[in-house]
Amino acid sequence: MMDFKDKAGIVTGAASGIGAAVARELVNQGGRVVIADFDEEAARALSQELGPESTAVFRLDVADPAANEALVAFALGTFDRLDFAVNNAGIGAPSTKLADIPLDSWSRVIDVDLNSVFYAMKYQIPAMVARGGGSIVNMASILGAVGWAGSAAYVTSKHALLGMTKVAALDYADAGLRINAVGPGFVSTPALEKTMTEQEMAGLAGKHALNRLARPEEIAMVTSFLLSKRASFVTGTYYPVDGGYLAI
CA distance 71 to 73: 5
Q: Which of 206, 198, 181, 113 is nearest to 151 (CA)?
A: 113
CA distance 24 to 65: 26
CA distance 196 to 192: 6
What is the crossing angle of helices 116-130 and 65-79, to 10°? 30
CA distance 227 to 234: 9
For residue 241, give the 3-state DSSP assignment.
strand
Catalytic residues: 154
- Do residues 37 and 60 touch, judged by C-beta distance below 8 A? yes
The DSSP output letter for 184 is: E
CA distance 130 to 165: 20
Strands 32-37 and 8-12: parallel
- Do residues 81 and 131 touch, judged by C-beta distance below 8 A? yes
